[in-house]
Amino acid sequence: MSEKEIILTRDGHNKLLEELHYLETTRRKEVAQRIKESIEFGDLSENSEYDDAKNEQAFVEGRIAQINDMLSLARIIEESNGNKSRNVAIGSFVILLDVESGDEEEYQIVGSFEADPTNHKISNESPVGHAIMGKKAGDLVQVRVPEGFLEYKILKVSRNPISKRVASKK
């Protein structure tokens, strides 16, 4: 893994810690049990259950190492309610109006490792995220796309989820 700082929200950091705890306390034991059971099937040279269990063990150990690396490089962005700045920053919840279509969407701006567009979490490094960083409600932004430009109006910026839809996806 590169030595690039990894920006995480408190929620994203907590999810990584939960995954790490699960992998270290539960999955390791389950995989070890699978390996033990597959050894009982006999000849390991032709034992597909053993091979599968060893591959799963390698995956679990690799993910544990990856999460540990990420956590060692993490910088947690505090989503402080006391922050009076209404500019878009990592951790902000933003409602955007697509000027052309009239559609409104709410997104949370997160670091690239937490990005999950299907759950309305976009990276500060994505074209839209990059374009709105530092902007405030009422600003118009243009985002370059292969077909030209998209124009968005920032309707609202908050440090907390604005709609129930995004709040319930946590």
Residue 40: predicted pLDDT: 82
Give the SS3 label for residue 136. Answer: coil
Residue 168: predicted pLDDT: 39
Residue 81: predicted pLDDT: 46
Which residues of the chain have a pLDDT value below 70? Answer: 1-2, 79-85, 164-170
Give the contacts of 168 (CB within 8 A, at least 6 positions apart): none
Please report the domains of the chain, with CATH numbers, ordered by start residue: 6-77 (1.10.287.180), 93-158 (3.10.50.30)
- Amino acid symbol at 77: I
Beta strand 93-98 with 104-110: parallel, antiparallel or unpaired?
antiparallel
Name the nearest CA neighbour of 73 among 35, 105, 113.
113
Task: Assess contact for 8 and 74: CB atoms under 8 A.
Answer: yes
For residue 64 the two structure tokens come to 């544990």
Looking at residue 25, the DSSP 8-state letter turns out to be: I
Residue 169: predicted pLDDT: 42
Residue 112: predicted pLDDT: 87
- Amino acid symbol at 7: I
How buried is residue 122: exposed, middle or buried, by Cβ count under 10 Å (0-12/13-18/19+)?
Answer: buried
Residue 105: predicted pLDDT: 93
Residue 85: predicted pLDDT: 61
Residue 95: predicted pLDDT: 96
Q: What is the largest CA-CA distance in the chain?
A: 69
First to last CA, the chain: 27
Q: At what angle do helices 28-39 and 48-73 cross, to 10 degrees?
A: 160
Give the SS3 label for residue 151. Answer: strand
**CA 141 – CA 153 distance, rounded (Å):** 6
Phi and psi torsions of 41, nearest 5°? -75, -10
